Amino acid sequence: MRVLGIESSCDETGLALYDTEAGLLAHALHSQVAMHAEYGGVVPELASRDHIRRALPLLKRVLAEAGAELKDIDAIAYTQGPGLAGALLVGASIANGLGLALGKPTIGIHHLEGHLLSPLLSEPRPEFPFVALLVSGGHTQLMRVDGVGRYELLGETVDDAAGEAFDKTAQLLGLGYPGGPALSSLAEQGDAYRYKLPRPMLNSHNLDFSFAGLKTAALTLARKEGPEAAADIAAGFQAAAVEVLAAKCLAALKQTGLQRLVVAGGVGANRSLRSRLDAEAQHKRFAVFYPPLALCTDNGAMIAFAGALRLAEAQGRDGRFTVKPRWDLSTLTAPA
């Protein structure tokens, strides 16, 4: 079975073709970063319009790279939520329009489930059950994953997500948008031990996170020390965030008794975080898994893959569909 995946939840248009026997055949992605940088953040209306412009050219590119045609598609998966309503509607409209025209079934996929399962696209792939750290610009959660659709929330952020804190701290340091990668790059030039920044909720005796206080501490320090201290502040901020993320992951493994950790989401590409978790894995004797770097950010491959795992739920369409800008991952159930 060949499943087309369409991702359009925010500011990246991703399409991919996944074969249940041959694996990922092709994927293509267009990022809107350059367009939104002028405004310092995502402008929802502009994001929606850009998805309209990019989706069909990306579809042609994916089919060409896979050596396939529209008639070769067996099912279509699309991001149904959560995300920006207008952006979601673009992907849902295209998916269901294609499904109706081709007589193919379609299936709406939870964006976070796509991220959660994306490490299964890498080799070696983790086996169930495992602990998953979902860490991105909009989400920071620890989940116990016993199978597809079998998710238990262990802890989550009570304020800013980790990626959001990275971006906001980068902006206050004058690094622009999106700031997370720029902050990480600047941190490599700084001294992480020059300033002692707080480690929020490190000793909270639960698996929740908080990054707003860390961001505020970095802001206060930046105003006091000035731009010449930016690299050291970036390094200190990153070290604090990574320490908290790693500590909570270790606590989740201990609490659940599991020996496999999966890291997914955009912040999962952070080199410092990967290095820290790899070192902890070697020392504590557990296994850690990541998606390929190209699949850490939003992408169509994870949606196509999740759709393939839920093919039994796919259905023909009569032209009606919905999107879910707010959608709790815990409401998902295992596929039939």
pTM higher than the cut 0.85: yes
H-helix or E-strand spanning residue 33? helix 33-37
Say how many domains are in the chain. Answer: 2
Please give the chain's pLDDT, 336 residues, in tens: 999 999 999 999 999 999 999 999 999 999 998 899 888 889 999 999 999 999 999 999 999 999 999 999 999 999 999 999 999 999 999 999 999 999 999 999 999 999 999 999 998 999 999 999 999 888 899 999 999 999 999 999 999 999 999 999 998 899 977 788 999 999 999 999 999 899 999 999 999 999 999 999 999 999 999 999 999 999 999 999 999 999 999 999 999 999 999 999 999 999 999 999 999 999 999 999 999 888 999 999 999 999 999 987 887 666 688 999 999 998 999 987
Do 19 and 144 have their domain in common? no
Q: Give percent helix, percent strand, percent coil of the chain, each to the nearest 5.
A: 50, 20, 30
Range of the domain at 283: 127-290
For residues 287 and 260, the answer to whether their CB atoms sit within 8 Å is yes
Do 166 and 94 have their domain in common? no
Q: Is residue 262 part of a domain?
A: yes
Rounded CA gap, 91 and 299, in Å?
Answer: 12
Do 192 and 46 have their domain in common? no
Do 171 and 108 have their domain in common? no
For residues 13 and 57, the answer to whether their CB atoms sit within 8 Å is no
Q: Is residue 191 part of a domain?
A: yes
Do 133 and 179 have their domain in common? yes
Do 99 and 22 have their domain in common? yes
Q: Is beta strand 75-81 parallel, antiparallel or unpaired with respect to 106-110?
A: parallel
Rounded CA gap, 191 and 58, in Å?
Answer: 42
| Angle (CA) 274 279 284, round 5° | 125
State the amino acid at position 12 in one-letter form: E
Cα 127 versus chain centre, distance:
20
CATH of the domain at 230: 3.30.420.40
For residues 175 and 189, the answer to whether their CB atoms sit within 8 Å is no
Do 136 and 267 have their domain in common? yes
Do 139 and 7 have their domain in common? no
Do 224 and 162 have their domain in common? yes
Do 227 and 134 have their domain in common? yes
Do 191 and 54 have their domain in common? no
Tokens, residue 61: 């590119």
